Amino acid sequence: MNTPLIEAKSLTVRYHYKPVLWNIDCSLSAGRMIGIIGPNGSGKTTFLKTLMGLLKPDSGSVRLFGKEPKQVLERLSYVPQRESVDWDFPARVQDVVLMGRYRRSNLLGRLSKEDRRLADEAMDEVGLTEFAKRQIGELSGGQQQRVFLARAIARQPELFLMDEPFAGVDAATEDAILRLLARLRDKGRSVVIVHHDLQTAQRFFDELVLLRTRLIASGPTEQVLTPDHLDEAYGGRLSVLSRMGDLLQKSQLDWKERGINDSDHER
């Protein structure tokens, strides 16, 4: 039996004695693109921080690769929210990407030629090679997000953890990054994204975790994005449900008929 990528059992996390996550039970598979979705304040970022070991459960447990989060940090790579980054810090694109090659074991060590090659490959993969010498504060929002994705790729992780990576990013950039992440998934990596857009979630993610403090549903995307689950999570907000109506009616279509084809890495 394969060990789950992520396994939460009776997971409860509180802020100031108030539950933010309540009695969460879920099991998620490796080699998938997984979205953590739900309304504002539903516990999405708290769940991600708990996966990273930044928050300690008040009760229950969470495991990554069958181990405590802090035991597998070298196998993870994190892409933060853009708003949490000081973009005035005087750093060039290549300097930030190279940070992905530092490990806890060599924080003060010298980077090798292999480290620099992997950083160069990561910049090329996200289309930033020509901006390598540019200060990060001079970049557009989409380019800035690509910098941190390149840093994550340079780290060569098994699991990418991303917190609202598309906030303030235009639709074309979001689509391009999602397709890049799908290619990484096709190479055996795992991707977990805190996400808010239900339409792109329906198009790109293999599995979803739908939260509203407690777990509403988790599993394959088509089994999570149902009218009943959405109504329960979003409290009958008609704007959300009506936007999803047409998508749900089309959920039986073959993915390939919709132009999302694994064979050409367009999923």
**Cβ–Cβ under 8 Å, residues 178 and 146:** no
Identify whether 88 is part of a domain.
Answer: no
Residues with Cβ < 8 Å from 205, sequence gap 6 or more? 33, 34, 35, 193, 195, 221
Domain tally, the chain: 1
Per the domain annotation, does 106 fall within a domain? no
Q: Across the strands, what pairs with 219?
A: 208
* Residue 40 within a domain: yes
- Diameter over CA atoms, the chain: 55
Q: Answer yes or no: is 150 within a domain.
A: no
- The answer to whether residue 110 is domain-embedded is no
The separation between CA 237 and the C-alpha centre of its own chain, rounded to angstroms, equals 25
DSSP of 219-241, one letter per residue? EEHHHHS-HHHHHHHHTT-HHHH
Q: Answer yes or no: are the C-beta atoms of 31 and 93 closer than 8 Å.
A: no
Give the CATH number, domain containing residue 255.
3.40.50.300
SS3 content of the chain, % helix, strand, coil (to 5): 45, 25, 35
Q: How long, in residues, is the chain? A: 267
Quick check: is 222 in a domain?
yes
Residues 6+ positions from 214 with CB-CB distance below 8 Å: 21, 22, 23, 24
Structural domain span for residue 232: 6-83+159-264
Q: Which residue has the tokens 């047409």?
A: 246
Asked if the structure places residue 46 within a domain, the reply is: yes
- What are the pLDDT tens digits along the chain (267 aa)? 678 999 999 999 998 888 999 999 999 999 999 999 999 999 999 999 999 999 999 999 999 999 999 999 999 999 887 767 777 788 899 999 999 998 754 555 678 899 999 999 999 999 999 999 999 989 988 888 899 999 999 999 999 999 988 877 888 888 888 999 999 999 999 999 999 889 889 999 999 999 999 999 999 999 999 999 999 999 865 455 445 555 554 554 444 344 444 434 333
Element (H, E) at 124: helix 113-125
Is 118 among the domain residues? no
Which run of H or of E encompasses 64? strand 59-64
